[in-house]
């Protein structure tokens, strides 16, 4: 992925490795060829000196000699390696020559095309059949003769080209393996070097999940300042939220006392206006408390992390309901393993479940069923509370979620139960679903965020991720 830091590092390293190996390979190949060329030239010159030392003029003034240059290729016709000695005036007609030369004439470059240098030597290349032969020719006088002779050594450049090709193939294979090994090693080095970032991400995830209050653990020097700044930011946010909660709490206490006085004064007997004031003040008080709760939940959900075991809270509330409604039967089913853990405060979970259980017991005929489930592929818990009462149609379900709406005016209450549940669930980014139960009554399902659990032990014996 182009946006990945590891990908960028690997791409840059791969590109640099390829460029560096290419430049190094070209340089080494050029150096090897130059060295091979110099060795080849030196070999021809050495053979030329041996040839010069092996010829002489006899008493009859004839050129004689039996040169042995020590290389069997001079004895093999068509090998491209040969030597010859001729008069400078007719270099194409050798007086002495190697066994590798077939015929009595040679094709020699004219001095107009290739001139002799100040050292009376010249070097040039000729194409012969399917090969290129490099010739070294020198002019010299032999013995006391006044005749100028021309010594020629020819060498097949195919041997040179094969040596260079073999070197280039070996170099290419070695550099390919070296480059591949470097890229693979770089990949693992990058993965190892970026491992602390994964640890930092996991530590930050633990903070968000509620298993830790700050980034914990040792980090490299490059990441340690970032971890420190994140911890400082978490602490600063927590302090801001705590100050906001304190101010909101102070406001609530400041309002509650005057409202209580107004309510008490308005409840004097035989005062219809006072009762209306009392009703409005009671609704104001309830709404103030509701919005305070919503502010607390919103603040805690983003910064302060909490966790609550669902089953113990649910069983405790059911025990209370069983005492208040002994004629009803409460059936609880837990389809969750490991035990579900709510990512939020215990009092919010009690508020949600308490209101739902209270509504169910109010309208149930004989049975209230509770079902707890947490699908493994989802990060939330499903809690369904159903009764076998009269139930609600679609229009009534929508009305029941509105604040202050009461479907049963004969029973006590403010009509805020399901609305409060809906508010709390919404603040936790959950979901509230009303439907018909299998027994014909009302079924209310709430979906709340959960703490993902692992086998690692944490507080309360439940692992979290």
Residue percentage of the chain with pLDDT more than 70: 80
Q: Which two tokens stand for residue 2?
A: 């182009």
Helix axes 417-427 and 346-363, enclosed angle (nearest 10): 150
Quote the pLDDT of residue 74: 87
Quote the pLDDT of residue 452: 66
Quote the pLDDT of residue 44: 92
Instruction: Report long-range pairs for 433-439 (Cβ below 8 Å, ≥24 apart).
Output: 434/392, 434/397, 434/400, 434/401, 436/391, 437/369, 437/386, 437/387, 437/388, 437/391, 438/386, 439/367, 439/369, 439/386, 439/387, 439/388
Quote the pLDDT of residue 267: 66
| Coil/strand/helix, residue 298 | helix
Angstrom CA distances, 33 to 26, 157, 160, 168, 196, stand at 10, 12, 8, 10, 49
Residue 454 has pLDDT above 80, yes or no: no
Q: How far apart are CA 450 and CA 308, in angstroms?
A: 9
Quote the pLDDT of residue 315: 92
What pTM did the predictor assign?
A: 0.51
Quote the pLDDT of residue 264: 72
Q: How confident is the model at residue 393 (pLDDT cuts 50, 70, 90)?
A: confident
Q: Check residues 110 and 33 and name the one with the higher pLDDT.
A: 33
Segment 134-158 mean pLDDT: 88
Mean model confidence pLDDT for the chain: 81
Write the DSSP string, 363-414.
H-SSEEEEEEE--TTSSEEEEEEEESS----HHHHHHHTSTT--S-TTS-S-
Residue 456 has pLDDT above 60, yes or no: no
CB 314 within 8 A of CB 372: yes
Per this entry, what is the length of the chain?
Answer: 465
| Coil/strand/helix, residue 254 | helix
Structure confidence by residue, pLDDT tens digits, 125-141 = 888 777 888 889 999 88
Q: Look at 23-27, 106-110, 237-241 and tell me which has the smallest mean pLDDT.
A: 237-241
Quote the pLDDT of residue 313: 92
Find, among 345, 417, 430, 444, the residue nearest to 381 by Cα.
Answer: 430
Q: How confident is the model at residue 195 (pLDDT cuts 50, 70, 90)?
A: confident
Query: The sheet that has 442-449: what strands, in order across it?
Result: 329-335, 367-373, 380-387, 442-449, 431-436
Q: Check residues 212 and 22 and name the one with the higher pLDDT.
A: 22
Question: 424 pairs with which residues across the strands?
Answer: none
Q: Look at 10-19, 60-69, 123-132, 404-413 and tell me which has the smallest mean pLDDT.
A: 404-413
Residue percentage of the chain with pLDDT more than 90: 26
Segment 192-218 mean pLDDT: 78
> 10 Å Cβ neighbour count for 54?
16
> 10 Å Cβ neighbour count for 200?
19
CB 307 within 8 A of CB 451: yes
| Coil/strand/helix, residue 161 | helix
Q: Look at 65-69, 187-191, 414-418 and tell me which has the smallest mean pLDDT.
A: 414-418
Q: Check residues 237 and 278 and name the one with the higher pLDDT.
A: 237
Structure confidence by residue, pLDDT tens digits, 266-280 = 666 556 666 667 666
Helix/strand/coil percent split, the chain, to 5 = 50, 20, 30
Q: Identify the top-confidence range among 257-261, 365-369, 437-441.
A: 365-369
Q: Check residues 457 and 379 and name the one with the higher pLDDT.
A: 379
Q: How far apart are CA 359 and CA 325, in angstroms?
A: 12
Checking DSSP bridges between strand 329-335 and strand 367-373, what pairing results, if any? parallel
Q: Check residues 311 and 429 and name the one with the higher pLDDT.
A: 311
């Amino acid at each position: 992925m182009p946006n990945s830091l590891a990908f960028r590092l690997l791409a840059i390293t791969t590109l640099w490795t390829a460029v560096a190996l290419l430049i190094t390979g070209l340089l080494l190949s050029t150096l090897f060829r130059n060295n091979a060329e110099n060795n080849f030239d030196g070999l021809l010159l050495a053979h030329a000196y041996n040839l010069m030392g092996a010829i002489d003029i006899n008493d009859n003034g004839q050129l004689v000699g039996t040169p042995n240059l020590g290389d069997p290729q001079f004895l093999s016709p068509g090998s491209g390696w040969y030597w010859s000695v001729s008069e400078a005036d007719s270099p194409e007609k050798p007086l002495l020559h190697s066994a590798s030369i077939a015929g009595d004439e040679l094709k020699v470059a004219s001095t107009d095309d290739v001139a002799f240098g100040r050292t009376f030597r010249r070097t040039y290349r000729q194409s012969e059949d399917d090969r290129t032969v490099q010739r070294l020719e020198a002019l010299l006088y032999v013995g006391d003769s006044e005749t100028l002779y021309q010594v020629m050594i020819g060498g097949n450049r195919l041997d040179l080209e094969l040596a260079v090709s073999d070197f280039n193939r070996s170099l290419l294979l070695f550099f390919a393996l070296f480059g591949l090994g470097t890229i693979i090693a770089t990949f693992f080095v990058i993965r190892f070097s970026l491992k602390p970032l994964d640890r930092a991400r996991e530590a930050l995830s633990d903070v968000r999940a509620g298993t830790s209050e700050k980034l914990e653990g040792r980090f490299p020097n490059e990441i340690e300042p970032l971890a420190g700044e994140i911890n400082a930011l978490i602490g600063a946010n927590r302090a801001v939220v705590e100050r906001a909660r304190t101010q909101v709490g102070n406001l609530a206490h400041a309002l509650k006392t005057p409202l209580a006085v107004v309510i008490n004064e308005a409840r004097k007997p035989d005062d219809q206006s006072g009762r209306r004031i009392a009703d409005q003040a009671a609704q104001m008080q309830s709404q103030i408390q509701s919005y305070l709760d919503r502010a607390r939940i919103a603040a805690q959900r983003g910064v302060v992390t909490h966790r609550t075991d669902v089953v113990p809270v649910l069983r405790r509330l059911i025990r209370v309901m069983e005492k208040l409604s002994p004629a009803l039967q409460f059936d609880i089913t837990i389809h969750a393993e490991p035990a579900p853990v709510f990512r939020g405060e215990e009092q919010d979970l009690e508020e949600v479940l308490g209101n739902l259980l209270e509504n169910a017991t109010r309208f149930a005929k004989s049975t209230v069923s509770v079902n707890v489930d947490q699908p493994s592929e989802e990060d939330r818990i499903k809690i369904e509370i159903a009764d076998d009462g009269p139930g609600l149609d679609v229009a009534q379900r929508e009305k029941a979620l509105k604040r202050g709406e009461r479907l049963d005016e004969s029973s006590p209450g403010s009509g805020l139960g399901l609305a409060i549940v809906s508010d709390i669930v919404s603040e936790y980014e959950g979901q509230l679903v009303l439907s018909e139960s299998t027994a014909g009554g009302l079924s209310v399902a709430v979906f709340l965020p959960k703490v993902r659990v692992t086998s690692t032990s944490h507080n309360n014996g439940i692992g979290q991720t």
